Chain A
């Protein structure tokens, strides 16, 4: 029980919030709108999976929002230019992976601090995007939305695919040595190196994977509406990091699970619609989110001090 305390307490908070909604605003649980709301979170979930892995390795990546936007615009423009839909996903993932590789090289091989590197790349990609796309929307061709399926089928497919990805990655992290390497490098890179793991390669590939996931997330977002807004990635890195942190991923690396990050995302993503359904004014949103993050973090701190003494 102690081992999963964080995940369980966040889940508990989520259940309380849902119970409150169930009493005061039961229309929250109407199936079709609920499905729409959940599907809208799929891109953020994919990003959170990647960020959690980066953070477990004791790094951070604040450039994922810009990567997301750039991949979305790239895929959108190519689709409008005639690219067949099945190629959009691998292409976006490759573009994202390339951007992630840049981060990876600078952090792993040159030993630069990840917060500064990804700050620089975040600004760079955002400016490149602004210079080239200049805020213009992209009108996608017919057949792209919902992958050509009906809305309900498309939404279910997206949701199922993202949950499958989550389950697969969670299992891999726990049961495959490649996954355990992330934890090892995040806890103590030197000890990991001495036991035969290559921390530099591990760090490099985790950034590449993060970039690829940013591309995947961008496509998941793209197929949910007939237009691409170049600003779609703005602020997503903070959402993903906050979800991971609330869900128990330690920023000092080596701890936390993807399922925890998932529950963290659910909690934070429920706050916004909850405010609407409970008819609370919109200007409370940031304050409440900040309070939730702090609560989660402080609770962690108190608990670990109590355990230590």
Chain B
């Protein structure tokens, strides 16, 4: 299995290359068949609308890479949004200190997840299932379910509309986030160990890696990023409500897995995640602009269905080809050379 002599076909069949092809196909198709898809306004809308989920997906990627998962990021968005509302409206703080404290709170929440998961060695799925309810529940309790915070400082609300150098602010933030996570995961020894930990935590520990601390960091970061996403969301929507971010955790996981990160941990790339985010965002936007779909008004449903199908195909393809290969191999072997042991009962 010499890497240097990989055939073109093998190179093309790599997950991230295929994903980029799908993305290119989507863009080409929508440019031709979807109304006003390629206009600068629409392109910037695509970025603005997917900024929060994009940030969550970037933060989710190292979590999944280390073999964990975080279901609580969407609920944390709601809690942080509400917290920001309380600070600015009930306590009359200015936007900047309120935003800083909100991000700090997000980090604290992430640290809570991190400590329960690493110190108590509990399965991340279950711990974050609990905090998924707890965070949302706290947000609802603080607002008594009903309170919506409106009328923020105009300077803060500008965040939703700013276009430094012509690109929406969200694009800059996503770019910085993607770069930051890329550097962390791929260019630091610290981050490179994520892959090792995800692949084999025990092996990593025997190799002398401080597994506990390194497994904790992604959850910590996820908490902080969820807070930033909450601030962006609040600025764009001009309101803070307890139900902010509902369902975003699943969308983030979808983008990460679509981008080639194995849910079992151990493999994955940040640029794959970015491609995953892009593929889903473009699909969501473009589908609804095809004239026939526009007339029928089923853009949202179709986008969800296709995203689900895309995810399944992306996951199934390598498995299917392996299955086909093994079937082909078995059929070419002579019966006597069949090495499979007869099971003992």
Chain A residues at the B interface, C-beta cutoff of 8 Å: 60, 106, 109-113, 115-117, 119-121, 123-124, 126-128, 130-131, 196, 238, 241-242, 245, 250-252, 281-291, 293-294, 297-298, 300-302, 304-305
Any chain A CB within 8 A of the CB of B132? yes
Contact of B120 among A113, A121, A302 (CB under 8 A): A302
Closest chain-A Cβ to B297's Cβ sits at a distance in Å of: 11
Closest chain-B Cβ to A124's Cβ sits at a distance in Å of: 5
Q: Which of B161-181 contact A (CB under 8 A)?
A: none
Given A112-B319, A196-B343, A293-B130, A127 and B254 touching (CB < 8 A)?
no
Closest to A123 in B: B308
> In the complex, what residues of B have CB within 8 A of residue A251's CB?
123, 125-126
> In the complex, what residues of A have CB within 8 A of residue B320's CB?
110
- B136 pairs with A286, CB closer than 8 A: yes
Closest chain-A Cβ to B312's Cβ sits at a distance in Å of: 5
- A286 pairs with B133, CB closer than 8 A: yes
Closest chain-A Cβ to B53's Cβ sits at a distance in Å of: 15
Any chain A CB within 8 A of the CB of B11? no
A96 to B120, CA, bound (A): 37
- B257 pairs with A116, CB closer than 8 A: yes
> In the complex, what residues of B have CB within 8 A of residue A281's CB?
144
Some 6 contacts from A to B, beta carbons below 8 A apart, are: A110-B316, A115-B253, A123-B305, A245-B126, A283-B144, A305-B121
- A106 pairs with B138, CB closer than 8 A: no
- A293 pairs with B133, CB closer than 8 A: yes
Known: A113-B262, A242-B133. 5 other contacts (CB 8 A): A110-B319, A116-B263, A120-B312, A291-B137, A293-B134
A123 to B141, CA, bound (A): 29
- A119 pairs with B250, CB closer than 8 A: yes
4 tightest CB-CB pairs across the interface, nearest first? Answer: A287-B137, A290-B134, A290-B133, A286-B137
Contact of A297 among B126, B250, B311, B344 (CB under 8 A): B126
Any chain A CB within 8 A of the CB of B135? yes
- B129 pairs with A242, CB closer than 8 A: yes
- A301 pairs with B134, CB closer than 8 A: no
Any chain A CB within 8 A of the CB of B298? yes
Chain B residues at the A interface, C-beta cutoff of 8 Å: 69, 116, 120-123, 125-127, 129-138, 140-141, 143-145, 250, 253-254, 257, 262-264, 298, 301, 304-305, 307-309, 311-312, 315-316, 319-320, 323, 343-345
> In the complex, what residues of A have CB within 8 A of residue B132's CB?
290
A10 to B136, CA, bound (A): 24
- B120 pairs with A298, CB closer than 8 A: yes
- B312 pairs with A106, CB closer than 8 A: yes
- B145 pairs with A283, CB closer than 8 A: yes
Contact of B263 among A113, A124, A241, A294 (CB under 8 A): A113
- B312 pairs with A130, CB closer than 8 A: no
- B123 pairs with A252, CB closer than 8 A: yes
Given A127-B305, A251-B126, A301-B121, A291 and B134 touching (CB < 8 A)?
yes
A116 to B253, CA, bound (A): 8
A289 to B307, CA, bound (A): 31
- B315 pairs with A117, CB closer than 8 A: yes
A298 to B119, CA, bound (A): 10
- A111 pairs with B140, CB closer than 8 A: no
- A294 pairs with B127, CB closer than 8 A: yes
> In the complex, what residues of B have CB within 8 A of residue A109's CB?
323
Closest chain-A Cβ to B169's Cβ sits at a distance in Å of: 30
Contact of B140 among A113, A286, A294 (CB under 8 A): A286
- B311 pairs with A116, CB closer than 8 A: yes
Closest to B343 in A: A196
Closest chain-A Cβ to B342's Cβ sits at a distance in Å of: 10
- A111 pairs with B127, CB closer than 8 A: no
> In the complex, what residues of A have CB within 8 A of residue B127's CB?
294, 297
> In the complex, what residues of B have CB within 8 A of residue A294's CB?
116, 127, 130-131, 134
Closest to A291 in B: B134
Closest chain-A Cβ to B56's Cβ sits at a distance in Å of: 15
A285 to B134, CA, bound (A): 10
> In the complex, what residues of A have CB within 8 A of residue B308's CB?
119-121, 123-124, 127
Contact of A196 among B138, B257, B264, B344 (CB under 8 A): B344
> In the complex, what residues of B have CB within 8 A of residue A130's CB?
301
- A123 pairs with B304, CB closer than 8 A: yes
> In the complex, what residues of A have CB within 8 A of residue B344's CB?
196
Closest chain-A Cβ to B257's Cβ sits at a distance in Å of: 5
Given A245-B126, A252-B123, A294-B131, A112 and B316 touching (CB < 8 A)?
yes
